[in-house]
Amino acid sequence: MRFLRRGHPLVKMAIFSLVAMIIGTIISLAIDWFPVQASSAADDIDTLYDVLLVASVPVFVLVMAVVFYSVSAFKAKPGDMSDGAPIHGNTRLEVIWVTIPFIMVSAVAIYGWIVLDDIEAKQPNQMVVQVNGQQFAWDFTYLGEGKVKSNQLYLPVNRPVEFQVTTDDVLHDFWVPEFRLKTDAVPGLTTKFRTTPNKIGTYNVVCAELCGIGHSTMRNTVQVLPQEEFDSWVAEQQGSESDGGAAAAGGDMTEAGRALFTGDGGCTACHTLADAESVGALGPGLDNVVADAEKYGKQAGQSPKEYLKAATEDPDAFVVPNFNKDVMPENFKESLSAKEIDTLVEYLLAVGGGEKG
């Protein structure tokens, strides 16, 4: 401490702060903050974050360094009960500490706007994917690709895509961290963002807006594929869509029911069912659904089949003990055809028989 007192305290404080700022900035840039870069926007956005770190970390460290230095260097000596010198304004200092942050914030805002404008620019040859959220699942409709609908997102690599995001119920937020982009799904609006996936792989689709009891399970994946693999997936979807009904009519209810359960119905997000390899826990488990449907159906004078149909079409009419109302979507009557609901019910009756001993 004697060494510090030899020079002017402000000079010592400036040196102390400068060293802390350099160390703080180096540490903040050395940390690996981001997941892999899988879209055309990722590099620009990561650079933007690095610039923000370089702009903000030194300011934070400077303020903290001055605070800690002052507390240590200028504290009152033991027994000194006198008041400090009265301080009035210091115009020059106030002008400096308003002007510098104003210039920094304005520069960052302009830079951010330029980057946003750049990554949102409309691209030729873009494909459009409609993303729809509902408690608690996403589904994806491909326009101009023969209108394929899927609950799994597949994208061709290096093809610009515009996501048009909507919701059936409450606010959700469509986020792919590896693309670095997200947008809210707002009731009554279609929100958009554009990007070009540029790295083949499987990434996360996350709901980034608290949307109810199943928010944390509202996750999915996006698979970025080579163009040929994407094309064959689209062809496969178009094929399976047209013979899906035929399979059900032809008697293979289980296949068709499983496809509905894991696909458009979005049932797997909330219900456990071994046959569909789902482990959701928000709604009642369905591995013993036949026995449950008998038990609860009897109370309402319904057959197990009638009970399951009613429970799908009007889920809040009877809520299984220990589960909550208003969790299961009430739109299956609109979003699935009567035949599809029958197929689902048949499927559950076929595979929900519990352990057969």
Among 209, 264, 292, 340, binds ligand CUA (CB under 6 A): 209
Distance separating alpha carbons of residues 159 and 163, to the nearest angstrom? 13
Task: Identify each DSSP E strand in 106-190 by its residue range.
Answer: 127-134, 137-143, 148-150, 153-156, 161-167, 172-176, 181-185
Stretch touching ligand CUA by CB under 6 A, among 34-42, 58-66, 151-159, 205-213: 205-213
CB of 15 to ligand CUA, least distance (A): 49
Residue 284 in contact with ligand CUA, rule: CB under 6 A: no
Cβ proximity to ligand CUA: between 52 and 186 the closer is: 186
CB of 340 to ligand CUA, least distance (A): 24
Residue 207 in contact with ligand CUA, rule: CB under 6 A: yes
Distance separating alpha carbons of residues 189 and 53, to the nearest angstrom? 34
Cβ proximity to ligand CUA: between 207 and 225 the closer is: 207
The token pair that represents 88 in the structure block: 């009035």
Strand order in the sheet with 148-150: 148-150, 137-143, 127-134, 161-167, 191-195
DSSP states along 193-242: EEE-B-S-EEEEEEE-S--STTGGG-EEEEEEE-HHHHHHHHHHHHHHHH
Question: Which amino acid makes up residue 97?
Answer: W
Residue 119 in contact with ligand CUA, rule: CB under 6 A: no
Stretch touching ligand CUA by CB under 6 A, among 2-10, 203-211, 264-272, 312-320: 203-211
Stretch touching ligand CUA by CB under 6 A, among 207-215, 231-239, 254-262, 326-334: 207-215
Distance separating alpha carbons of residues 274 and 278, to the nearest angstrom? 6
CB of 135 to ligand CUA, least distance (A): 7
Cβ proximity to ligand CUA: between 28 and 132 the closer is: 132
Q: Distance of CA 346 to CAs 137, 147, 261, Å?
A: 23, 28, 11
Among 153, 161, 172, 182, binds ligand CUA (CB under 6 A): 172
Residue 211 in contact with ligand CUA, rule: CB under 6 A: yes
The token pair that represents 152 in the structure block: 């799994």
Cβ proximity to ligand CUA: between 131 and 218 the closer is: 218
CB of 141 to ligand CUA, least distance (A): 18
Among 180, 194, 215, 309, binds ligand CUA (CB under 6 A): 215
Residue 218 in contact with ligand CUA, rule: CB under 6 A: yes
Q: Which residues contact 187 (CB under 8 A, 6 or more apart)?
A: 167, 169, 170, 171
The token pair that represents 138 in the structure block: 């996403």
Q: Which residues contact 231 (CB under 8 A, 6 or more apart)?
A: 156
Contact present, 172 and 184 (Cβ < 8 Å): yes
Residue 290 in contact with ligand CUA, rule: CB under 6 A: no
Cβ proximity to ligand CUA: between 211 and 267 the closer is: 211
Residue 133 in contact with ligand CUA, rule: CB under 6 A: yes
The token pair that represents 104 in the structure block: 């920094």
Stretch touching ligand CUA by CB under 6 A, among 176-184, 206-214, 283-291, 325-333: 206-214
Cβ proximity to ligand CUA: between 42 and 205 the closer is: 205
Residue 328 in contact with ligand CUA, rule: CB under 6 A: no
The token pair that represents 149 in the structure block: 């609908």
- Kindly tell me the sign of the dihedral angle through the C-alpha atoms of 284, 285, 288, 289: positive
Cβ proximity to ligand CUA: between 136 and 140 the closer is: 136
CB of 182 to ligand CUA, least distance (A): 12
Binding interface with ligand CUA (CB under 6 A): 133, 136, 172, 207, 209-211, 215, 218
